[in-house]
A and B are shown apart, each in its own frame.
Chain A
Amino acid sequence: MSARPPGEARIGLRHGAGGPAMRGLVESLFAAGQREDAPDRIGLGALDDGALLRVGARWLVFTTDSHVVKPVFFPGGDIGRLAVSGTVNDLAMMGATEPLGLSCSVILEEGFEREALERIQASIDATCREAGTFVVTGDTKVMGRGELDGVVLNTAGIGFAERPVRDDGLRPGDRILVTGTLGDHGLAVMARRHDLGLGEELRSDVAPLNGLVRAALAAGGEAVVAMKDPTRGGVASALHEMAAKGGVGVLLQEAELPVRPAVRAAAELLGLDPLQVANEGKALLGVRPEAAKRVLEALQAHPLGRDARCIGVCTPERPGAVILDTGFGRRLVAEAEGELLPRIC
């Protein structure tokens, strides 16, 4: 029997943090026996935001996402809005901007307040209306007190993509666009979870992005070559994956990174890098250089894309690396390893 290194014998929080540990678990375990990608199927092995299944002449996108968040209600959103947006956005990142329908499974802890559940459902309903979709099937389970922390939601969704967009399409020269400010969700939740009293300016950005992405695809067409939503692990993890899969380096300009002053201040206070903090209402787009301006203007014309920016460019050098030009010098941008932990000094 091969000895596992200490700390690998059990699952740790890092295995769910969206970084290398999680990818390792998916690749070595979950996807290991499910690798038979075929011309009409792009599945788990691709580690994209969702699967692509050919149905007749069209591509059906299928994705699923489980949601746990503490607290369940946070500034700017709640677990219901998160669950709908998460799945709608994963579909949109593959090019399916008109979801056909969602499933929603609810797992509750005995004793969960009915009133809170009603608020969550109202939020699910409102977010579905915003995204132009419906929950069409679901499931309910209740577990004993202490067997679960409050509520877990799982959503899945399907939609057709006229032109599937993958996360591996970057080429040297492509521009990297982000649809708005970075780090809002992660810092808002962290500040509320730990009662940091950092003021009400920290609000989650959680939102369904399918309308915004539809506008970008309409403006850019074939020139939009890669998309990913920078959720857990933040922009750093998402760009690392896109750079590695595309075989390019990414050079970011720090001066162009849109970060709200309150988020910047809170991140500095906690010793966190906004590039590594989760977003729930933002997308990264890789766009051919000649279309970058056009797509950026289309994003900025949409209410959810007003703060969109071109933040970087793909280079042939250092494939897989993400480099930040700070204006002082350049450094590598690392992926967060495990849960984000604040520094002590």
Chain B
Amino acid sequence: MDLLDNYKKAWDNQPEEIKKISALEIYKMTQAKSSSIVKWIFVIGILEFAFMILYTFIFDVSNDEKIMMAMGIYEFVQISQYLTIPVLFYFLFLFYKNYKNISSIDNTKKLMTKIKKTRRTVRNYVIFNLLYIVYIAAIMTFGMVRTPQGNFQNIPEWLIVLIMILVTVIMLLLFWGFYQLLYGILLNKLNRNYTELAKLDQKE
């Protein structure tokens, strides 16, 4: 007899759980709030969208606006900002569609793929925003070199460019680091299991 057959017998004969959950308790559980990974991705995703939309209201950007006006790039920046609105709605639509598509009735692989796809939508939106930061920084640098403002008036052009590049890179790194940490913690287990399942499905 195979070693596992012995254990399998023990498994087959295992007694039912002593503390059976009653129908009433099951009912109470169905009314509880889910704390699944999907729920977290949804909440964090919405917060990210909200932050990206609201940050101009949270932070005082009136001073930046004045500087931009003085440099003659204000209108250009404003038009660019309006153009990002349809992009935001496109991402929001995609995010919601992918989220709604997640179903625990799917097979394990499909379910994990859908969860990852939903998260990727938010990630792509964040990447879009980071690229937008680079774009705005480039315009600002151009404006600063052409008509230096404030402290930048007495320094050489190459130093202005260098400072702007450094500030942008630091901002990008901070954003990206925070982002990786957040999703790293949240999706560590899912990613591990996904890799494991993908390995399982590789042809021998």
A-B complex is real: no
